[in-house]
Structure 1
Amino acid sequence: MNRQLSSNNRMASFFTLTGVDLLLIGLIYLLSVSLIASATYAQHLSRTKVVGSVRDATGKPVEFATILLLKAGASTSGSSQSASAAQLVKGAVADVNGQYVLDNIGPGTYQIAAQLVGYQKTTSAPFTVVADQSEVNVPPIALQQSEQTLGEVTVAAKKPFIEQLPDKTVINVENSIVSAGGTALEVLEKAPGVFVDNQNDRITLKGREGTLVMIDGKPTYLSAQEVVNLLRNTPSNGIESIELVTNPSARYDAAGNAGIINIRLKRGSRKDGTNGSATVGAGYGRFSKASAGLTLNHRAGGWNLFSNYNYDYRETFGSVDALRKFGTGDSLTTVNNLGYRPNTAQNHTFKIGADYALSKRTTVGIMANGLISNSQAMIDNKNLVYNAKGQLEQTLTMINASTRSTQRVAINANAKHTFDSLGRELTVDLDNSRVNIQPQDNMQTRYLGAGGEQTQPELIQRNLPPSTVTIRAAKADYVHPLRSGGRLEAGGKVSYVTSDNDVRFETLTANGYIPDPQRTNHFLYDETITAGYLNASRIWGKWSIQAGLRAEHTRSLGNSVTLSKVVDRNYLNLFPSAFVTYKINEDHQWRASYSRRIDRPNFQDLNPFVYVMDPYTYYQGNPFLRPQYTNALQLGYTYKNETNISLSYNHTTDVITGVNEQQERIMRVTTVNLAALDNINLSVSLPLKPTKWWTLQPGVNAFWNAYNAEFAGQRLDYRQLSANVTLNQNFILPHGLTAELSGFYNSPLVYGMMHFRGMGQLSVGVQKSLWNKTATLRLNISDVLHTLQSGGTTNFATTNLSFVNQWESRVARVTFTYNFGNRNLKTTRQRRSGVEEEQNRIGGGSN
């Protein structure tokens, strides 16, 4: 009955708009009216436009060619194919009909340069723009196909593994030799500024926790633990790139105080016909691994169909050696926890979709991606209990036969309409995502004395905590260019999330399994977020400015049915952002930014249920967690679009942090709000090319974390200077071989009440192109020196803990990829859906 009433309340909350929601919708309406008025006004402005088209040798339009407007130099003449003395004035991209428009062009003599992969760069004859001229028509530019094959072009213009851009860092996974055959989590471990805590399943970015993880621009809607589990089970063979965005604009959801991690899955092409690639691989460390994948794309007329599928099988292990001390003097007790966790997982990831051009200005599409994962683990936890004299008193062993089944499917429907050639456009997204997690723990605990004798009967228990999270979201984004290089963006979004977690903890008795009322709990959580934003940007000479404001209203209801405990929250937040760039010249550029962001507690951390980790440790959620807020300031410098230096300051309040509490012999792990965290970060990226055959990409992220809080009646003011250092090197070797050497080191750092020790690794790989560069063979070895293991200590209040965690990090892998079909390819259109935050917060542990 309670469940039915809760379901009715959830439906009612979805269709009932509060006054704040109506205010936000009204704000979006007023913004739209002002934009329409601006459009009407802009149409009456006098502006000089340069228009033209790009064709191939047969006269057919060339889609999405890069257009460069060049100020003609003294040495430029006629229809020269080069423009060495020309100066770049403006750029654009041709549309699906090969047409382009460049507006707001001043008087002068110019040329148009057109280029596209697979074609020779071609430059038009010089033309002149005079004052008060409304439009200049440039004769069609004919592109000739390049004599080089695509494979040859790809080798010459290969992107580096780590690409440092002014506004984000891009990890080009598909170009990496050392990443082939691995997982998304292993790739992230090599990213600059990223720290992966495998012991507690956390990801931090530049010393800060709270990242919004997205797949193809759509959030995963998973908690920190489940995000790590998802990345651990996502094969790298299906990933094109990973983007790290540390300071997003108002267009993005305000979630993610540390920034955004966006995983781009591999896509097909936009070339007529059918093409694709197939990959198989195998690996071995302590256990065996295997993978296979297929990517297909077909384009005909207005249709573009694309899909990919990847299968991954892996056997791995993890181990922990933890030491806990409690009590003093003669009552001092030490518990040595020795855990070993062999794990077998089979993972299927897929993506399928279709785009259709209704007209030259309107495109609609539908896309689905998902994960099906099944894993089994036999967890052996042995706890050795010693007295103050160091004598063994008792041994407790818990064997847990654990299984986990995860199904995640996200569906996106998308429409994009371009109103004119000036860039005025509207995009609409509808999303529906569902995640089902079906774990089961079968635990057998034995109690042995100092001599190995059994001191009490075995305890047999089982834990069944299934959870289902459903997300529905709708969003719209409008872009409107203004005169003098200005632009307005406005949009709105509504998301509705429901989470159902029904934990059933049972103990075996003579009468069968009976529920444990202290650990059994049915938890329901509903959340509706209504958002609207306005973003404006403009260029004044060497200055470019962008400012935005995002408003988000949150209504959440957490209902512990078993405990009759309800937490109802209703709040409105404003999130301003501002970006200023000063371009001294083509080589030097300065930028500054400010933003305010939020991280809401994930669903699992709000659930007050108890999860047994071993006989002496359990986890319990906290339904009274509050959101944490971050104010972020950043100053950056870029040299020749390659060298990047940035300095940032971040102040976070109500910091959501995991803590440990020693309660006699039992340790309770939970999540709390700490008062404040200050973070200062210095980031440096300096690409180098000592020779034609050797390139280096060193990077350093140094950060200072300072906590200012009270917990368990004591002052917590931990402060530490830490650093993350990465070095990636690429080599061009004889006989068509290329090689890659990748390494990183994370120095000791502080997180909440825990101090982590330093760790690092070195990976190496070699690649050979085969069969006229239609196939690639890769061999790599990760963690060659076997140094990748985490460890840490906690010595605060009554908690005294130290641990070392190891896993199967050194693995040798071989992968083979074959490309078929048309090789002169262009990528499919990118899209961002309305799913921006909620999947980041689904709860649950991981195998």
Structure 2
Amino acid sequence: MNSKQRLLMSDLLTPSLFDTLVVSIILMGLFGLTATAAFAQHLARTTVSGDAKTPAGKPLEFATILLLKAGDSTLVKGAAGDADGHYSIDNVMPGTYRISVTGVGYQKAFSAPFTVETGQAQVAVPTLVVQEDSRTLGEVKVTAKKPFIEQLADKTVVNVENSIVSAGGTALDVLEKAPGVLVDTQNDRISLKGRTGTLVMIDGKPTYLSAQEVVNLLRNTPSNGIQSIELISNPSAKYDAAGNAGIINIRLKRGTRNEGTSGSATVGSGYGRFPKASAGLTLNHRAGGWSLFGNYNYDYNERFGSVDARRIFGKGDSLTTVRNLGYRPSSSRNHTFKAGADYALGKRTSAGLMLNGMVSDNQARIDNSNLLYNAGGELQQNVTMVNASTRGLQRIAANVNVKHTFDTLGRNAGPRELTVDADYSYVSIDPQDNMRTRFLNAVGEEVRQPLVQRNTPPSQVTIRAGKFDYVHPLSKSAKLEAGGKISYVTSDNDARFETLVDGNYVIDPQRTNHFLYDETISAAYLNGSKDWQKWSLQGGLRMEHTRSLGNSVTLNKVVDRNYVNLFPSVFMTYTASKNHQWRTSYSRRIDRPNYQDLNPFVYVMDTYTYYQGNPFLRPQYTDAFQVGYTYKGQTTASLSYNHTTDVITGVNEQMEQIMRVTTVNLASLKNINLNVGFPLTITKWWNTRQTVDVFYNAYDAEYAGERLDYRQVSANVTSNHSFVLPHGFTAELSGFYNSPFVYGMLRLRALGQVSVGVQKTLWNKTATVRLNVSDLFQTMRPGGVINHGTTNVTFTNRFESRVARLTFTYNFGNRNIKGGGQRRSSAEEEQRRIGGGGSN
């Protein structure tokens, strides 16, 4: 799906006076509210401590300690008591909490709620007496269930692991329910808070895939293997500068890190119009200095999709309407795996090896009918195309990690830490399209010989990357962070398009192309942070040097780019009291074109539509400003302004009967977003959280000789409800609504869905049965309009959105709340930019 034609695009624009005024008003407003408290007394993070004893007055040795929010029992931190029954939890923020204590053979005990005040150094919790549990023969298993949507200071977390409505589905199903996220399955795009260009990571590491392939990967990744999804809308300089709209980080399950062996097994099935099945196994083992972990998931999925699109072109008596009716049944078999080992080399040094990957086999049959009508509405011709398509995907990624902790610099300073990562990733995409086109008149008679073609555009991408991160505390309340990274990417795309002539396939030179792409990105960053009594400040600067070389061997076209960018970021927080916190931030980010969009060859979608790549695409840049407010650590509100130049956007252009689809740089996009999220306890057994995003998108550009100044106010609303029912049952109800939305020249219609699920635990909570139904009312019918220049298109899509799923999970071995650490590797940005041809 790539191009050989040069496009003329606008030069990089600087922000306008209007942008500068908006930014100034936002920042001055926040600083004006809080300036009088700028140099208040020094803030000392609070330490919460206490003791746990048995009824006989003896210490409860090595008890499990949980610090919970008093309002909803959400887990904040975990700790372990010592041999004398004493425990201590450091760095506790102001708020109202309670302590939960338990041990092997003892019941769970809770403290009375207590409040941590701003500036308070110590809080002593009264001694807790833990009663013996005569019913417990084995260990007592302590769990703290997190809410489905968790709003933290710097990110939103979707806790998939314990969600009932997410069980048995896919990562894409879960992402559709996340606040502020819009998944456009028709065009394979993911937007966050009204902006496209998200960096999708898995366990902190890039997937090395283009937007289209990222959607395919998420569509084929079972949700049973996911722990959580993090939405980071304004990352710091420590992260790669890629991701105009922010970062979506998918955390896979890893399990516990206790001594011994533990794991879980899951099986599931589902049915919508076609059957689905899944199975997975997770294993963990820790002994001495070794920690071993691994998981494997298999997913089988049959599904369908359909489209009904109308294109109108021409004028007067030459007015023509093309109605495209498409039906696409498909099936996929996906194997995903993850394995790794961590080893403590010494008291201060640890090393780890991690391997993860995916093997996917997809098959689809695409039946397209293009009905041509004249100005009087009479059928003139029917051109049908059947595409028997296959797509194989193999992805493997390896990471080696070493972490060393140095001596502390003094009593009030924490330890210095150095982390080094080395990464290797290989992605192979092997698609093939076998197309047969028939030309029929109005009464169904063939008017010419069928056209038989095949397209084989394999793609291989290899990425090698390395990075280091160093943390240097200056005091208890100040630290410096520094790091560097280098990545080297090679991409090889060899597309062969052939037509059957007299029984032999003949290469079509206009649609065959060998494209090579090399890219090296070198980066360095410096971050500094400082805490005062009510203020905290973090600032950073990241520098990235990019050298890219795109070489169309067949067309003898070479595009050589070499550029350096600086990406500053500033974050400031003001804690007015234990219930009120304000924050503001600024960051500059970049989105580079994905490798597939740079590949200059033509991909035929049907007889009247083709995609053409653009090797002259430039990166887009975004300046992002945000102010926010948090009430009692749970209710949040934020206002952000984002200005993007050289916006990378998909466009459609009608050229007589043929529609050309390509990707270009548009001049600029302004985005203003208001986000509000709040929890609500309706009764003791019914809790809910609501999130509302209202955003305004304004494009200011020119394309095909005409102004493109689409402007739209849109909204995304999500509502998640959890219920505690009698007899050990729990239930969830979730829904979202997306109002009409604009993307470039495309105006999307509103859509939404409601999903429901119920859960029952069995066998002393070692097993769980979940039943859920997605899109209960079948309201997921994406559609939209393109009406710009000579292009006039209206379309409606349908797919198998309502699916009932039943899953069973069994947990075994030594289970505990201690979670394994998640490592971020050096491959941060390149993963989402790989693409492959084909239609799956």
> Any conservation in 2 of the 1:654–1:674 contact (CA below 8 Å)?
yes
1:364 and 2:351 correspond: yes
3-state SS of paired residue (2:727)? coil
**Distance in 1 between residues matched to 2:59 and 2:426, nearest whole Å:** 47
The residue identity in structure 2 corresponding to 1:695 is N
The answer for unaligned runs of 5 or more in structure 2 is 1-43, 71-75, 93-97, 112-121, 409-413
Shift of 1:772: 1.0
Identical-residue share of aligned pairs (%): 69
In structure 1, what residue type is equivalent to 2:286?
R
- Indicate which of 409, 433, 445 corresponds to 2:396: 409
Tell me the CA shift for residue 420 of structure 1. Answer: 3.2
Q: 1:54–1:94: 8 Å Cα contact kept in structure 2? A: no
The residue that corresponds to 1:458 in the other structure is 450
* Gap change, CA 1:714 and 1:691, over 3 Å in 2: same
Choose the corresponding residue for 1:789, options 768, 781, 787. Answer: 781
For residue 218 of structure 2, give the secondary structure of its aligned residue in structure 1: helix
Cα distance change on mapping 1:206 and 1:146 into 2, 3 Å: farther
Q: Which residue of 1 aligns with 2:689?
A: 697
Give 1:256 deviation, angstroms: 0.1
Q: What residue number does 2:797 align with?
A: 805
Alpha-carbon distance between aligned partners in 2 of 1:217 and 1:54, rounded to the nearest angstrom: 37
Counting only pairs closer than 5 Å after superposition, residues 8-157 of structure 1 correspond to structure 2 as 153-154=142-143, 157=144
| TM-aligned CA deviation for residue 824 of structure 1 | 2.5
CA distance 1:805–1:67, shift in 2 (3 Å):
closer
Distance 1:458 1:316, change over 3 A: same
How much does 1:228 deviate? Answer: 0.3
The code of the aligned residue for 2:829 comes to E
Cα distance in 2 for residues equivalent to 1:627 and 1:664: 31
Aligned AA for 2:457?
A: P
Contact kept, 8 Å, 1:104 with 1:484, in 2: the verdict is no
Write the distance in 2 (CA, Å) between the matches of 1:399 and 1:757: 29
Pick the aligned partner of 1:754 from 743, 746, 749: 746
CA distance in 1, matches of 2:574, 2:294: 42
Question: Per-residue deviation at 1:553?
Answer: 0.3
The answer to whether residue 299 in structure 2 is matched with residue 307 in structure 1 is: no
Residues 184-229 of structure 1 show CA distances to partners (whole Å, capped at 9, x for unaligned) of 0011001111111111110011110000000000011111000000
| Equivalence for 1:537 | 529
Other-structure match for 1:317: 304
In structure 1, what is the equivalent of residue 411 of structure 2?
A: none
Whole-Å separation in 1 of the counterparts to 2:790 and 2:724: 56
SS at match of 1:227: helix
Note the residue ranges of structure 1 that are not aligned, 5 or more in a row. Answer: 1-46, 69-82, 85-89, 106-111, 124-135
Per-residue CA shift, 1:150-175, capped at 9, x if unaligned?
88743xx3211111112111111111
Q: Secondary structure at the match of 1:687?
A: strand
Distance 1:99 1:308, change over 3 A: farther
C-alpha distance 56-713 of structure 1, shift in aligned 2 (>3 A): farther
Label 1:101 to 1:535 Cα distance change in 2 as closer, same or farther (>3 A): farther
The answer on whether the counterparts of 2:141 and 2:816 sit within 8 Å (CA) in structure 1 is no
Superposed structure 1 runs of 4+ greater than 2 Å apart: 47-68, 90-105, 112-123, 141-154
Q: How does 1:174-253 map to 2 (within 5 A)?
A: 174-253=161-240
1:435 is matched with 427
**1:250 alignment partner, SS class:** coil
> Which residue in the other structure is 2:473 paired with?
481
1:15 counterpart residue number: none
Letter in 2 for 1:378: R
Cα distance change, pair 459–476 in 1 and its aligned pair in 2 (3 A): same
**Which of 270, 279, 292 is the equivalent residue of 1:292?**
279
1:734 Cα deviation from its structure 2 partner: 1.0
Please name the residue that 2:580 is paired with. 588
- State the 1:51 CA deviation: 13
Equivalent pair of 1:214/1:220 in contact (CA under 8 Å): yes
Matched residues in 1 for 2:626 and 2:559: separation?
36
Q: Quick one: distance in 2 between partners of 1:661 and 1:48? A: 59
The answer to whether the 8 A contact 2:63-2:103 is kept is no
1:283-341 per-position Cα deviation (integer Å, ceiling 9, x unaligned): 00000000000000011101010000000001000000000011010000100000000
Cα displacement string for residues 33-92 of structure 1 (whole angstroms, at most 9, x for unaligned residues): xxxxxxxxxxxxxx9999999999999996997799xxxxxxxxxxxxxx99xxxxx999
Distance 1:348 1:403 in 2: 17
1-structure distance, mates of 2:132, 2:770:
28
In 1, Cα distance between equivalents of 2:718 and 2:641: 22
Question: Offset of 1:829 from its aligned partner?
Answer: 1.6
The answer to whether structure 1 residue 393 and structure 2 residue 380 are counterparts is: yes
Whole-angstrom CA distance in 1 between matches of 2:574 and 2:213: 41
Structure 1 residues 340 and 840: CA distance shift in structure 2, 3 A: same
- CA distance change for structure 1 residues 361 and 96 in 2, over 3 Å: closer, same or farther? farther
Q: In the alignment, which residue of structure 1 is the partner of 2:597?
A: 605
| Residue 732 to residue 392, structure 1, CA distance change in 2 (3 Å) | same
TM-score by length of 2: 0.86
The match for 2:818 is: 826
- CA distance in 1 between counterparts of 2:242 and 2:752 reads 30
Quote how far apart the aligned CAs of 1:390 are: 0.5
CA contact (8 A) 2:79 2:89 kept: no
Would you say the 8 A contact 1:479–1:490 is kept in 2?
A: yes
Cα 1:96–1:387 shift into 2, 3 Å = farther
Match of 1:341 in 2: 328
Contact 1:595 1:632 survives alignment (8 Å) = yes
- Whether the aligned pair in 2 keeps the contact of 1:151 and 1:774 (CA below 8 Å) is no
632, 642, 647: which is aligned to 1:640?
632
Alignment check: 8 A CA contact 1:319 1:805 kept = yes
Tell me, in whole angstroms, the C-alpha distance in 2 between the residues paired with 1:59 and 1:523.
Answer: 70
Relative distance call for 1:419 and 1:800 in structure 2 (3 A) is same
CA pair 103-756 structure 1, distance change in 2 beyond 3 A: closer
Sort the Cα spacing of 1:54 and 1:61 in 2 relative to 1 into closer, same or farther, 3 A. farther
Paired AA for residue 167 in structure 2: A
Preserved contact between residue 677 and residue 708 of structure 1 (Cα < 8 Å): yes
Aligned residues of 2:203 and 2:250 also touching (Cα < 8 A): yes
Deviates most, 160-169 or 92-101: 92-101
> Could you say which residue in structure 1 is the equivalent of 2:498?
506
Deviations 1:399-438 (A, max 9, x none): 0000000000100001111113623211111000000000
**Matched residue, 1:377:** 364
For residue 745 of structure 1, what is the aligned residue in structure 2?
737
- 1-side partners of 2:486 and 2:52: how far apart? 43
1:265 counterpart residue number? 252
Work out whether 1:169 is the aligned partner of 2:165: no
* Alignment-mate amino acid for residue 623 of structure 2: N
Structure with higher RCO (Cα < 8 A, 6+ apart): 2
Alpha-carbon spacing, 1:264–1:49, altered in 2? closer, same or farther (3 Å) = closer
Q: Structure 1 residues 438 and 64 mapped into 2: Cα distance closer, same or farther (>3 Å)?
A: farther
TM-score (norm 1): 0.85
Find the aligned partners of 1:117 and 1:759 in 2 and give their Cα distance.
49
Q: What is the rounded CA distance, in whole Å, between the counterparts of 2:518 and 2:59 in structure 1? A: 57
State whether residues 101 and 130 of structure 2, in contact with CA within 8 Å, keep that contact through their aligned partners in structure 1.
no
| Mapped contact 1:222–1:842 kept (Cα < 8 A) | yes
| Pairing of 1:273-284 with structure 2 (within 5 A) | 273-284=260-271
The residue type equivalent to 2:156 in the other structure is T
1:528 counterpart SS class: strand
Match of 2:756 among 743, 747, 764: 764
